[in-house]
């Protein structure tokens, strides 16, 4: 706000007298916004797990697997993992959406997973495998903590 003084900026008022002007500075993008824009561009939206707004998406294969999927979602959230569930469209469309949105991990829950009390973990790079939910949580928390 001291630029008018530093540059001796004045104007002539209606009385023909010099008057110091008031300068209002407004930046469309501040430093945080510029940094975020550079980061998004540099990473092409493929954030590391610790930085990703949604770290895991839970995908039940059908409605009958939703109860177990909701329990899994609750466990993930209890441990501070940013997770959400999607049971809206076909499984293929939901997997495609995960990949388009560049979510680091997704869990597929079907009959086998419900019976074995596990979840199939898949990453952006491919299938990781079926594990107990507690093991998945441990793996994710370690990755988040280490900022891998």
For the chain, which domains are there?
A: 3-43 (no CATH), 56-146 (3.40.50.800)
**pTM score over 0.75:** yes
* pLDDT tens per residue, range 6-51: 888 899 999 999 999 888 877 777 888 889 999 999 999 999 999 9
CB 4 within 8 A of CB 21: yes
Cβ atoms 82, 54 nearer than 8 A: yes
Strands in the chain per DSSP E: 10-12, 18-20, 56-60, 83-85, 105-109, 118-123, 126-132
pLDDT digits (tens, 9 = 90+) for 89-133: 999 999 999 999 999 999 999 999 999 999 999 999 888 899 999
At 122 the three-state DSSP class reads: strand
Separation CA 43–CA 104 (nearest Å)? 13
Residue with token string 């500075």: 25
Helix ranges restricted to H, 8-132? 31-43, 66-78, 91-101, 111-116
Rounded CA gap, 146 and 148, in Å? 5
Nearest partner of 55 among 130, 146, 124, judged by Cα = 124
């Amino acid at each position: 706000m001291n630029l008018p003084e530093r540059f001796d900026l004045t104007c002539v008022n209606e009385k023909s007298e010099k008057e110091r002007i008031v300068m209002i500075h407004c930046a469309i993008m501040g430093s945080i916004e510029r940094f975020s824009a550079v980061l998004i561009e540099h990473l092409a939206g493929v954030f590391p797990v610790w930085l990703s707004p949604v770290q895991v998406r839970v995908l039940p294969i059908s409605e009958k697997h939703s109860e177990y999927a909701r329990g899994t979602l609750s466990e993930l959230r209890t441990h501070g993992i940013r997770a959400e569930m999607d049971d809206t469209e076909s499984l293929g469309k939901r997997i495609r959406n995960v990949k388009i949105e560049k979510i680091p991990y997704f869990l597929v829950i079907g009959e086998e997973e419900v019976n074995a009390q596990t979840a199939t973990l898949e990453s952006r790079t491919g299938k990781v495998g079926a594990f107990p939910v507690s093991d998945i949580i441990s793996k994710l928390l370690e990755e988040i903590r280490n900022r891998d």
